[in-house]
Structure 1
Amino acid sequence: MPESLSGFGLGGAKGRYVSLCALYLFIYYGFGAFAPLITQYYESIHLTGTQIGLISAVAPIVSIVAQPMWGMICDRYQIRKTVLILTLIITGLVGLLFTGVSSFVYVFLLYILLSFFQSAVVPISDSLALGYANGHGIQFGDIRLWGAIGFALAAFITGLLVEQWGPHVLFYSFCLAFLIAILFLRKVPEEVTEASRFRVSMLAGIRNLARIPRFALFLISSFCMMGSVNANNIWFSLFYQDIGGTIAGIGLAFLLFAGSEAPFMKLAGYIVRRWGLELTLLLSAIFCTMRWFWYSSAPSTTAVIAMFFVQGISVGFYLATAAQFVRENTPASLQVTALAIFFSVGGGLGSMFCNLVAGWIKDSFSVLAIYLFFGIITAIGIIPLLMIKFGRWKQISPDEEVQASQ
C-alpha cells in the first residue's frame, strides 16, 4: 500500500503533520472534558472547598517528582513515543475508576495515581511537536492551537452531556479521547538529533539547567502565570455559577474561551517573528492579570462571555510561546527534561500553591476573592519577565551559557 494511503489515509510529510495536529486535538479534548467540569463531580459527592483544594493540589505535587523523572527517561533512552503511549493508556483507564468512588479518601488516592501518569503527557507531546516544528520550519503555535480547539469542543460538548446525564460522563469522555489520541500518535515522527543522544544524569541535568539565568527567571514567572491559569480551570465553574451562570453556560464559556486561543496562537507566531518571544510573553501576563482582577469585581455572565477573547490573548499567547522559549534557552540534550521541569514548576508548584490558597479563600471569604488572589500572584509573575526582557542577561547559546558557568 502506498505511504499516502497507509494508516488513516495520512501518509508522507503532510500525513505526519495532520497526525500530530490530531494528537493534540484528542489529548486536549480529554483535558477539556475533565478539568473544567471536575468541580461538578466534587460538588455531587459533597466535598468542601478545602477538600477540593487539597485534591487539586495533588497533581502538581506529584508532577514535581514525576515530570523530571519522565523527562530524564525519555532523554536518556529516546523512547518518548513508547512512554507517551503507556501513560495515555493508563491515565485514561485510571480516569474510569472515578466513576466507582464517592468519598474524599478514595478520590484523593485515585488522583495521585492519575497525576503520576498524566504528568508525562504534556511535556512529551510538546517535545515531539517542537522537534517536528523545528525540523520542518513550522511554528509550534500552529500545532498547539489544535489542542485549544479540542479543549474548547470538549468543554462545550461534555458540559451539555453532564447537564443531561450527570458528572460521571466526563470520565468516559476523558478516557475515550486519550485512547483515540494513541491511534494518531503511531504516525507521529520522533525527531532525534545528535545533540539529544547525549547521556546525562538527572542531577547533572537539573544543575546545568539551573545555571541558565533566563530559564531560572522564566520558571519563577511560570509559577505565577501557569499556577493561576491552571487553577482557574478548576474554580471557574464555581465562579460562573456564583455570578448567576448555569452548568450549560460553563460549557459554552469554555468553548468560547478555549476556542479563542486557536486564532491567537496563530497570531502569536507573527508577533514572535516581529517583536520576539519575550514581548509576546509579557503581553500574555499583563492581559491575564487584568482579567483576574476584573473577575474579582463580580461582572455579569453576559460580560464574561462577551469578553471571551481575553483568554485568547492571555492564555493563547502564553501556550504558543512558553514551550518555545524553554526550547530556545536550554541545551538540546536536556530539552525534554527542561520542559518537564518547566511544567513541574508552573503546572506543578504553581498550581499546587494557587489551588491550596484558593480552597482556603473559598471557605474563609468568597469565590470572588479567589480571583483577587489570582490577579495579585500573576502580577508578581510579570516582574521576572521584565527582567528577562530588559535585564543584563544577553541571549547566548544555552550550551555556551552552561559551559561558561562551569
Structure 2
Amino acid sequence: MPGSHSGMGLSGAGGRYFSLCALYLFVYYGFGAFSPLITQYYNSISLTGTQIGLISAVAPIVSIVAQPMWGLFCDRFQIRKTVLILTLVASGLAGLFFVGVSSFAFVFLLYLILSFFQSAVIPISDSLALGYAKKNGLQFGDIRLWGAVGFALAAFVTGLLVEQWGPSVLFYSYCLALLIAMLFLLRVPDESEETSRFRVGMLAGMRDLLRLPRYLLFLLASFCVLGAVNANNIWFSLFYQEIGGTVAGVGLAFLLFAGSEAPFMKLAGVFVRRWGLELTLLLAAVCGAARWLWYSSAPSTTFVIAMFFIQGISVGFYLATAAQFVRENTPASLQVTALAIFFSVGGGLGTMLCNLVAGWIKDSYSTLGIYLFFGIITVIGIIPLVLITYGPWKQAAPDDKVEATQ
C-alpha cells in the first residue's frame, strides 16, 4: 500500500483505498461484460446492421445531455456519492430488462434509459477517486488500473459464459457487477473539496469552463482520440473476423488488450512525474493513431494479438492521465461538471460521429476503411494536444486565478 496507508487496518485508510479499487474493478467488470459482447445479443434477436449502427450512434446523444446535467447537479448540491449509488443501482436493473426484450423499438428505448443512468457512473467515480488520490498523495492511475483489470476479466469470462449459456448471461453479469460495486461504494469516502467560497449557478459554471483555452483544446483532442477508442469496441469484432480471426479469438483479444491497460496505467504515473501530463497524453495519442493506421493495412491476426500492448500505451496512458489533466486545469468547484463534459464530448459526441461514419464506411467499403478513418481522426486529435504542449497555452492558469476571472 502507499505510504499514507501504512499501519492502517482495513477499517482505516487502507480499507477505503481497497474499497475504491474494488469499486473500479466491479464497475468496469460490468462494462466489460456488456460492451464487447452486446453485438452477440443483437445478432441473437436478428437486428440488422443498420439498426445496430443506429443504437450505437444515437445512444451517446443521451450522455451528451445527461453527463453535464449529472455533473452540474453533483457540484451544485455536493451529493456525488448519493447520486453514484442511485445510478449504479438504476443502470444495473435497467440492464436486466434486456433479457425479456427482442424488438428493435424496445431495445432502443432500453438502451437510452440505460445510457441516461450509466452516463453518471464514470465521471462521478473519477471525481471521487481524484479527490481521494490528491488528499492521500496517490496517483490516480494506481486506482484507475483496477478498472482495466475488471474490463479485461469480464470480456474473457463473460465471453465463455455467453458461448455456454447464450447472450442473456451478459446482462446478469452486468447487473450483478454494478450492485457489488455499489456495496463497495458505501465504504468509499467523498473527498469533497471546500467550495463554499465559490458557488456558481449551473449555466454560469458551464460558461466559465468553456472560457478556458487549455480545457477547450483538450475537449477537441478527446473528441477525436476517445471517439475512435470507444467506437473500436463496437467494430473490432467485425474487423478481427475480416482479417481471418474467430469469434473466440475476439474474447482473447479483448482480454489481452484491456488487460494491458492496467500495467501502463500504473506506469503512467512515472511518465507524468518525469515528462508531465501533456507529453504523456501526446505519446498516447500518437501510438493510438499508429495503431489504427496499421490495422487498416490488414495485418495478420497473429501480429494483432502479439502487439496487444499497443492498447496499453495508447488507451491506458490516455485514460490514466486525462482525468488528472481536467482536474488540474479547471476550478475545484466545477470538478464533476468538467469531467462530465469531458466524457460527454469524447465518449458521447466523438463516439457518435465515429460510429456513424464507420457504419457508412462499412456499407460502402470495408472494415479496413473504418480503421483508416480512425487513424485519420486520431491524427487530427493530436493537433490540439501539440498546441497544449508547445503552443501559447502550454502553462495552466493557477486555480485561484481561474476562479478570480468569474
TM-score by length of 2: 0.95
Asked if the contact 1:50–1:356 (Cα under 8 Å) also holds between the matched residues in 2, the reply is: no
Further displaced range: 185-194 or 322-331: 185-194
What do residues 320-344 of structure 1 show as CA deviations (whole Å, max 9, x unaligned)?
A: 0000000000000000000000001
Question: What secondary structure sits across from 2:193 in the alignment?
Answer: coil
Residue 402 of structure 1: CA displacement?
5.2
Asked if the contact 1:34–1:174 (Cα under 8 Å) also holds between the matched residues in 2, the reply is: yes
Which residue of structure 2 lines up, in the alignment, with residue 175 of structure 1?
175
Further displaced range: 356-365 or 264-273: 356-365
Residue 49 of structure 1: CA displacement?
2.6
Which residue of structure 2 lines up, in the alignment, with residue 6 of structure 1?
none
Over 3 Å counting, the alpha-carbon distance change for 1:399 and 1:55 in structure 2 is farther
Which residue of structure 1 lines up, in the alignment, with residue 401 of structure 2?
400
Distance (whole Å) between structure 2 residues aligned to residue 218 and residue 398 of structure 1: 17
Residue 399 of structure 1: CA displacement?
3.9
Distance (whole Å) between structure 1 residues aligned to residue 401 and residue 70 of structure 2: 26
Asked if the contact 2:330–2:402 (Cα under 8 Å) also holds between the matched residues in 1, the reply is: no
Correspondence 1:289-300 to 2 at 5 A: 289-300=289-300
Distance (whole Å) between structure 1 residues aligned to residue 102 and residue 299 of structure 2: 34
Residue 356 of structure 1: CA displacement?
1.1
Asked if the contact 1:78–1:197 (Cα under 8 Å) also holds between the matched residues in 2, the reply is: no
Asked if the contact 1:282–1:385 (Cα under 8 Å) also holds between the matched residues in 2, the reply is: yes
Which residue of structure 2 lines up, in the alignment, with residue 315 of structure 1?
315
TM-score by length of 1: 0.95
Which residue of structure 1 lines up, in the alignment, with residue 212 of structure 2?
212
Asked if the contact 1:49–1:362 (Cα under 8 Å) also holds between the matched residues in 2, the reply is: no
Q: Which amino acid aligns with 1:309?
A: F
Which residue of structure 2 lines up, in the alignment, with residue 382 of structure 1?
382
Q: Which amino acid aligns with 2:243?
A: I
Distance (whole Å) between structure 1 residues aligned to residue 46 and residue 375 of structure 2: 28
Residue 240 of structure 1: CA displacement?
1.4
Distance (whole Å) between structure 2 residues aligned to residue 132 and residue 171 of structure 1: 31
Which residue of structure 1 lines up, in the alignment, with residue 261 of structure 2?
261
Asked if the contact 2:222–2:346 (Cα under 8 Å) also holds between the matched residues in 1, the reply is: yes
Asked if the contact 1:20–1:129 (Cα under 8 Å) also holds between the matched residues in 2, the reply is: yes
Q: Does 1:246 align with 2:257?
A: no
Correspondence 1:9-28 to 2 at 5 A: 10-28=10-28
What do residues 109-130 of structure 1 show as CA deviations (whole Å, max 9, x unaligned)?
A: 1111000000000000000000
Asked if the contact 1:76–1:198 (Cα under 8 Å) also holds between the matched residues in 2, the reply is: no
The gaps in structure 1 that reach 5 residues or longer are: 1-8
Asked if the contact 2:87–2:118 (Cα under 8 Å) also holds between the matched residues in 1, the reply is: yes
Which residue of structure 1 lines up, in the alignment, with residue 4 of structure 2?
none
Asked if the contact 2:29–2:150 (Cα under 8 Å) also holds between the matched residues in 1, the reply is: yes
Which residue of structure 2 lines up, in the alignment, with residue 53 of structure 1?
53
Asked if the contact 2:331–2:402 (Cα under 8 Å) also holds between the matched residues in 1, the reply is: no
Question: What secondary structure sits across from 2:397 in the alignment?
Answer: coil
Q: Which amino acid aligns with 1:207?
A: R
Which residue of structure 2 lines up, in the alignment, with residue 4 of structure 1?
none
Distance (whole Å) between structure 1 residues aligned to residue 365 and residue 117 of structure 2: 34
Distance (whole Å) between structure 1 residues aligned to residue 47 and residue 38 of structure 2: 12
Q: Which amino acid aligns with 1:21?
A: C
What do residues 203-240 of structure 1 show as CA deviations (whole Å, max 9, x unaligned)?
A: 10111001110000000000001101011111111111
Which residue of structure 2 lines up, in the alignment, with residue 351 of structure 1?
351
Distance (whole Å) between structure 2 residues aligned to residue 197 and residue 89 of structure 1: 33
Over 3 Å counting, the alpha-carbon distance change for 1:196 and 1:53 in structure 2 is farther
Distance (whole Å) between structure 1 residues aligned to residue 15 and residue 197 of structure 2: 26
Distance (whole Å) between structure 1 residues aligned to residue 240 and residue 176 of structure 2: 27
Distance (whole Å) between structure 2 residues aligned to residue 97 and residue 105 of structure 1: 13
Identical pairs, percent: 79
Residue 50 of structure 1: CA displacement?
2.4
Residue 29 of structure 1: CA displacement?
0.2
Over 3 Å counting, the alpha-carbon distance change for 1:30 and 1:90 in structure 2 is same
Distance (whole Å) between structure 2 residues aligned to residue 291 and residue 45 of structure 1: 33
Asked if the contact 1:45–1:103 (Cα under 8 Å) also holds between the matched residues in 2, the reply is: yes
Which residue of structure 2 lines up, in the alignment, with residue 40 of structure 1?
40
Question: What secondary structure sits across from 2:36 in the alignment?
Answer: coil
Asked if the contact 1:53–1:360 (Cα under 8 Å) also holds between the matched residues in 2, the reply is: no
Residue 197 of structure 1: CA displacement?
7.1
Q: Which amino acid aligns with 2:161?
A: L
Correspondence 1:4-403 to 2 at 5 A: 10-195=10-195, 198-393=198-393, 394-401=395-402, 403=404
The gaps in structure 2 that reach 5 residues or longer are: 1-8
What do residues 57-107 of structure 1 show as CA deviations (whole Å, max 9, x unaligned)?
A: 233100111011101111111111111111011101111111111222111
Asked if the contact 1:50–1:363 (Cα under 8 Å) also holds between the matched residues in 2, the reply is: no
Residue 196 of structure 1: CA displacement?
6.6
Distance (whole Å) between structure 2 residues aligned to residue 381 and residue 402 of structure 1: 28
